[in-house]
């Protein structure tokens, strides 16, 4: 029992929290004002700590005989000036956010995108926040698209924020494809949405879908999309004060998401950086790049390995809100029926005890009327051995999944004890 319990306890939920760190990057100009304002807002809401970095890019003037390094005193002066700009900017943004406390900015040297992503790894950051720069061709030619480059390199979510952003994120539009990566992208949106906010789950079907998937009818495609949206919704660990809506659209993915965000007055668009859905291939890198270049709102880019980036074994633990228990457990049962299990209980008067090993799962359900959780195990068919466990006074449900979205364990806390259902390795 100790192994299972420890596995669920130590794996992070990939959400910002009191133990989390936000890495906010600034270039000391107004372009980064929104990034620091967002860091202040999220830190206040989640209890996260903020680490501020500013990067001095390598400077090597071009002369007829080739590049030469600047004199050391020039480099020192430029670095000091950059730190002072970042310090003044941090103080100004903190003054706009009562209670905000920013640490002394750290000056690093090198290529900004590589330095920022390495600093995030070194600090164990769960989120990188950068500013969104100008959206013009010259930025691409001269390589100043820092947000795009950081998003491509990062193993944790990257939040790119426009300079004018202030306040909180109250409306988030999440682009859904048909892959398990969508679940990670949707869940990454939850901790940044303010109390009373709305998360919009939006699937964009390409106009040329029939050319890509000629074997699938519109009805079959729609059924798959609705099932996928329902599954994401059922497993989304959303607090009671945040609501979830869903919609579908057709056309170019980036453009459709931007238009939908404008329609609902969203503050942020959320997208996976490498979605590989077997039908639509919706959220490819080109889509997130297009969002970062064209969106006027903030953009949260979630990499496919974000759930495992913390280095704790590639898993993520989701705390399921009670209002979602029936829907989540119905989906859990549908996806895992027949998988072999181990059931263990841990209660103060009897300690940790195994109830069964190697029974296939028949289903798990929660009855809101009786307020009881039912775990049903055993092969289907008359005369087959089976086992049922009925649990009352359920306080919480936690679901542990691996980096690919495959369920590993379900824990129910009840009274003074807990019951853990784990799936055996195949």
373 found inside a domain: yes
In angstroms, what CA-CA distances link 328 with 143, 331, 346?
45, 5, 23
Strand partners, 123: none
Q: Give the global pTM.
A: 0.72
> pLDDT averaged over the chain?
80
Share of the chain above pLDDT 70, in %: 77
Per-residue pLDDT at 11: 30
Report the pLDDT averaged over residues 182-211.
84
pLDDT score of 83 more than 70: yes
Based on the fold, state whether residues 178 and 137 are members of the same structural domain: no
Hey, how many other C-beta atoms are within 10 angstroms of the C-beta on 264?
A: 15
∠ CA(224), CA(227), CA(230), 5° rounding?
150
Pairwise pLDDT comparison (314 vs 96), residue with the higher score = 96
Same domain, 158 and 173: no
Give the angle subtended at the CA of 361 by the CAs of 410 and 332, to the nearest 5°.
50
**pLDDT at site 306:** 59
Which of 307, 338, 361 finishes a domain?
307
The answer as to whether 314 is a domain residue is no
Residues 330 and 230 both lie in one domain: no
Note whether residue 353 is domain-resident.
yes
**The predicted structure's pLDDT at residue 134:** 58
In a shared domain, residues 262 and 150:
no
Query: Rounded distance, CA 191 to CA 156, Å?
Result: 14
Which has more pLDDT, 310 or 358?
A: 358
Can you give the CATH number for the domain in which 347 is found?
Answer: 2.30.29
Q: What is the pLDDT of residue 375?
A: 95
Per the domain annotation, does 312 fall within a domain?
A: no
DSSP strands (E only) in 86-192: 106-109, 127-131, 158-161, 169-176
Three-state DSSP class for residue 258: helix
Do residues 91 and 203 both lie within one domain?
Answer: no
Task: Write down which residue in 285, 307, 329 finishes a domain.
Answer: 307
When mean pLDDT is compared across 26-35, 154-163, 232-241, the lowest value belongs to 232-241
Q: Please check whether residues 85 and 10 belong to one and the same domain.
A: yes
CA distance 273 to 271: 6
Write the CB contacts of 131 (distance below 8 Å, at least 6 apart in sequence): 25, 26, 27, 31, 32, 33, 34, 35, 146, 147, 160, 161, 162, 163
pLDDT-derived band at 97 (thresholds 50, 70, 90) equals confident
Residues 264 and 354 in one domain: no
Q: Which residue range(s) make up the domain with 149?
A: 2-59+66-162
Q: What is the pLDDT of residue 213?
A: 59
What is the CB neighbour count within 10 angstroms for residue 209?
A: 15
Which helix (DSSP H) or strand (DSSP E) does residue 384 occupy? none
What gap in Å lies between CA 83 and CA 198, rounded to an integer?
Answer: 38
Residue 255: the pLDDT is 92
What b/e string do you get for 349-372 counting C-beta neighbours within 10 Å, with b at 16 or more?
eeeeeebbeebbbbebebeeeeee
57 burial via Cβ count (<10 Å: 0-12, 13-18, 19+): middle
pLDDT at 280 (0 to 100): 34
In a shared domain, residues 81 and 212: no
How do residues 368-379 score in pLDDT, each as one tens digit? 888 899 999 987
Query: Cβ contacts of residue 388 below 8 Å, gap of 6+?
Result: 374, 375, 376, 377
Looking at 162, 183, 206, the residue that finishes a domain is 162
Q: How far lies 46's CA from each of 31, 43, 80, 105, in Å?
A: 24, 5, 32, 21
- Provide the CA 353 distance to its chain's centre, in angstroms: 35
Number of domains in the chain: 3
Residue 179 domain-assigned (yes or no): yes
CA max distance for the chain:
89
pLDDT, mean of residues 256-274: 92
For residue 342, count other CB atoms closer than 10 A to its CB. 19
In a domain, 230, yes or no: yes
296 lies in the same domain as 339: no
- Tell me if 143 is assigned to some domain: yes
93 lies in the same domain as 46: yes
d(CA 255, CA 261): 10
Question: Is there a domain that residue 316 lies in?
Answer: no
Indicate if 236 and 301 belong to the same structural domain.
yes
> Do residues 126 and 184 both lie within one domain?
no
Which CATH number is 90's domain given?
3.40.50.620
| Helix residue ranges, H only, 208-248 | 209-212, 218-235
| Predicted local confidence at residue 228, as pLDDT | 81
């Amino acid at each position: 029992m100790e192994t299972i319990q420890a596995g669920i306890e130590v794996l992070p939920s990939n959400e910002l929290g009191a133990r989390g760190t936000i890495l906010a990057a600034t270039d000391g100009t107004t372009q980064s004002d929104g990034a620091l304002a967002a860091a202040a807002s999220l830190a206040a809401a989640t209890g996260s700590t903020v680490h501020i970095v500013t990067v001095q890019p390598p400077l090597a003037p071009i002369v007829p005989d080739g590049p030469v390094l600047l004199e050391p005193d020039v480099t020192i002066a430029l670095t000091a000036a950059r730190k002072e700009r970042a310090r003044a900017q941090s103080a100004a943004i903190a003054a706009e956010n009562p209670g905000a406390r920013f640490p002394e900015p750290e000056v690093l040297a090198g290529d900004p995108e590589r330095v920022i992503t390495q600093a995030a790894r070194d600090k164990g950051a769960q989120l990188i926040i950068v500013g969104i720069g100008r959206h013009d061709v010259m930025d691409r030619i001269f390589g100043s698209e820092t947000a795009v480059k950081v998003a491509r390199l990062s193993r944790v979510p990257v939040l790119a924020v426009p300079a004018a952003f202030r306040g909180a994120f109250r409306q988030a539009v999440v682009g859904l494809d048909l892959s398990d990566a969508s679940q990670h992208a949707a869940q990454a949106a939850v901790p940044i949405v303010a109390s009373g906010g709305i998360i919009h789950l939006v699937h964009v079907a390409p106009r040329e879908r029939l050319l890509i998937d000629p074997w699938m009818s519109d009805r079959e495609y729609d059924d798959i999309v609705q099932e996928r949206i329902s599954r994401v919704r059922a497993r989304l660990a959303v607090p009671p004060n945040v609501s979830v809506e869903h919609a579908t659209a057709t056309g170019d993915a980036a453009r459709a998401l931007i238009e939908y965000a404008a329609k609902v007055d969203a503050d942020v668009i959320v997208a996976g950086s490498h979605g590989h859905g077997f039908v639509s291939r919706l959220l490819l890198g080109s889509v997130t790049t297009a969002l970062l270049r064209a969106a006027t709102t903030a953009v949260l880019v979630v990499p496919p390995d974000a759930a495992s980036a913390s280095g704790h074994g590639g898993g993520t633990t989701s705390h399921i809100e009670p209002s979602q228990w029936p829907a989540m457990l119905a989906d859990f049962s549908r996806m895992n029926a027949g998988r072999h299990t181990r059931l263990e209980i841990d209660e103060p008067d009897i300690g940790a005890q195994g109830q069964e090993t190697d029974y296939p799962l028949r289903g798990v359900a929660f009855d809101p009327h009786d307020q009881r959780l039912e775990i049903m195990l055993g092969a289907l068919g008359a005369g087959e051995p089976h086992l049922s466990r009925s649990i009352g006074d359920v306080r919480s449900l936690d679901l542990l999944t691996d980096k690919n979205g495959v369920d590993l364990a379900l824990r129910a806390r009840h009274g003074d004890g807990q019951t853990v259902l784990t799936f055996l390795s195949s």
